[in-house]
Structure 1
Amino acid sequence: MAEIPLKPTGREEIRKLESALLVMSLFDKETLEAIKDPATRVTWVDSLYTAAAALARERAGISTSKIAEELGVTEATIRRHLKGETKAGQLVKKVYDKLSKEGFKVELPTELAEECTKQITELKDKIEKVKKMLTEIQSWL
């Protein structure tokens, strides 16, 4: 991914920062734990998006009222996210700080990384079996 602007100057840069904040927030341990509950999943993801979009726009110097108008939420909601009065706002701020220090980096939680590695290994084994079967079938023809 291209360099993520921490102080965006245009719409494209705002979109890049917003996307980076959202992706990094979604893969945070706290978020992954929170979205396990299907009852709160949609609300949680929506709040993360709103907080990420608000922070990206605020860093670009856009006013709270304009941010609220663009995102279709109240100014109070935007202020709460930006002040860190919401869990989503706190998390996005934490991710922004991490982004500013370490750059864009998505880290899978250990359990998820191990599960993905296991599934990849299983799929590779299945592919090899299918290849052998195809080779055997071709030899019959």
Structure 2
Amino acid sequence: MEEEIVIDLTNVPLKPIGKKEISQLEAALMIGTLYRPEVLELIKDPIERATWIDSLAIAAAAFARYKAGTPIPEIAEELGRSETTIRSHLGQKTKAGKLVAETYEKIRRGELKIPLPLIGAPKISTEEELRALKGEVEALKERNRALEEEVGELKREIENLRGQLSAKEAEITDLRQRLENADKEKERVLKKCSEVLEGVKRVKSIISEALSVVEGLTTSY
């Protein structure tokens, strides 16, 4: 019969006080969730593995801190994630958050004991596995920070372009106003010219009539 060792994770503090107890609960949640059969199946895929480990690590860290009474904004800042992401994990709206919450319930009921087959000397201890996983998480966090900086730079560039666009729109509005004013002035000038021409015509008519009268008088004499 194959021997096995059992990792008992039922004694970790459910309401941690201080960083040490928070780390203990975080590690228990992480390990307990990672060794679930469905999770082990998921992380076999190298592509899925990094994503799942990061999500589970953030969910476990958030859950442990939340149980310690840490405010969500502080958790988000410490873990380098948005408050929306943290709330989604804690509210079990994510698969990782749901799995971690179920692991917590197992700890609370005293059911979280992980049997591991003992085949000779283990190649890597649980503690070493956890360190390796934390290393991967830190690498992912660093990548996330780099992406956030890149996003921030793009946002600043977009804001700059928006400012330029607003300036151009203001120029276009000004040109349109000037064009409208020029059209109105042109209409006013044309109207004035028309009035002047009408006046000239009337004057010419009066002069013509006057000349006719003068000629008539001259002929009479």
TM over 0.5: yes
Residue of 47, 66, 72 corresponding to 2:74: 66
Counterpart for residue 52 of structure 2:
44
The reply to whether residue 107 of structure 1 matches residue 139 of structure 2 is no
Unaligned runs of 5+ in 1: 121-141
The reply to whether residue 55 of structure 1 matches residue 60 of structure 2 is no
Aligned-partner Cα distance in 2 for 1:91–1:107: 19
Residue of 7, 12, 15 corresponding to 1:4: 12
Runs of 4+ in 1 over 4 A off after TM superposition: none
Question: Do the aligned partners of 1:27 and 1:107 also contact (CA within 8 Å) in 2?
Answer: no
Question: Do the aligned partners of 1:4 and 1:104 also contact (CA within 8 Å) in 2?
Answer: no
Counterpart for residue 90 of structure 1:
98
**SS at 2:114's partner residue?**
coil
Aligned-partner Cα distance in 2 for 1:107–1:31: 16
Output one character per residue of 1:31-75: Cα deviation in whole Å (capped at 9) or x when no partner. 101101111100100100000000000000001100000101111
Counterpart for residue 130 of structure 2:
none
Output one character per residue of 1:68-108: Cα deviation in whole Å (capped at 9) or x when no partner. 00101111110010011111101000000001112542235
Question: Do the aligned partners of 1:24 and 1:95 also contact (CA within 8 Å) in 2?
Answer: yes
Residue of 14, 33, 37 corresponding to 1:25: 33
Aligned-partner Cα distance in 2 for 1:49–1:107: 21
The one-letter code of the counterpart of 1:65 is P
Please tell me whether Structure 1 or Structure 2 has the larger radius of gyration of its CA atoms.
2
Percent of aligned positions with the same letter in both sequences? 49
How many residues are paired up? 113
More displaced stretch, 42-51 vs 1-10: 1-10
Aligned-partner Cα distance in 2 for 1:103–1:41: 26
Which structure has more strand as a fraction of its residues?
2
Question: Do the aligned partners of 2:103 and 2:112 also contact (CA within 8 Å) in 1?
Answer: no
The one-letter code of the counterpart of 2:61 is A
Question: Do the aligned partners of 2:32 and 2:103 also contact (CA within 8 Å) in 1?
Answer: yes
Aligned-partner Cα distance in 2 for 1:95–1:30: 13
- State the Cα distance separating 1:9 from its structure 2 match: 1.2
Q: What's the TM-score, normalizing by structure 2? A: 0.48
Question: Do the aligned partners of 2:72 and 2:83 also contact (CA within 8 Å) in 1?
Answer: yes
Q: What's the TM-score, normalizing by structure 1? A: 0.74
- Cα RMSD (Å) of the superposition? 1.9
